[in-house]
Amino acid sequence: MTVSSILKDKGRDVATITPEATLQDAVNMLAARRIGAIVVTDFADRVAGILSERDIVRAAGRNGGDALTEPVSAHMTREVVTCAVDDSTEKLMEMMTAGRMRHLPVVQDGKLVGIISIGDVVKRRIADAELEAESLKAYIASG
């Protein structure tokens, strides 16, 4: 299975924010959408960074409540690992495990086209395993 098939099922909607927005803006968006990370994009819809709940907690730990008035750009991860629509779920699992990441923006032709979470990958792998098990049962029963 590929990123494309996951996006086909879950959709391509991605929560984004600008680097100039405040951490408070990001917190509000994360809470409203019930998500764990937000992609920071520039004016051309290119990935400029990613901001996760962990980044916000670290900022609050360093600067207390004052961190919420600071720009997203001060706390985002700038070197973002991304994936492509034709990447396999196996490759995603390797990338996420190696980089200890829970979210991978999907980029095509330099533009953000989706986001994949570790939950999306696990859900797909479970569905694939269940389908394989059912196919094997049907094969054995017909034999």
pLDDT digits (tens, 9 = 90+) for 4-28: 999 998 889 999 999 999 999 999 9
Let me know: does 80 contact 104? Beta carbons within 8 Å. Answer: no
Let me know: does 48 contact 71? Beta carbons within 8 Å. Answer: no
Q: Where are the alpha helices (DSSP H) in 43-117?
A: 53-63, 89-99
pTM: 0.84
Calculate Rg over the CA atoms of the chain.
Answer: 18
Which residues lie across from 71 on neighbouring strands? 22
pLDDT digits (tens, 9 = 90+) for 43-61: 888 999 999 999 999 999 9
Q: Where are the domains of the chain?
A: 3-142
- Local structure of 51: helix, strand or coil: strand
Question: Is residue 112 pLDDT above 90, yes or no?
Answer: yes
β-pairing verdict for 111-117 and 103-108: antiparallel
CATH superfamily of 3-142: CBS-domain (3.10.580.10)
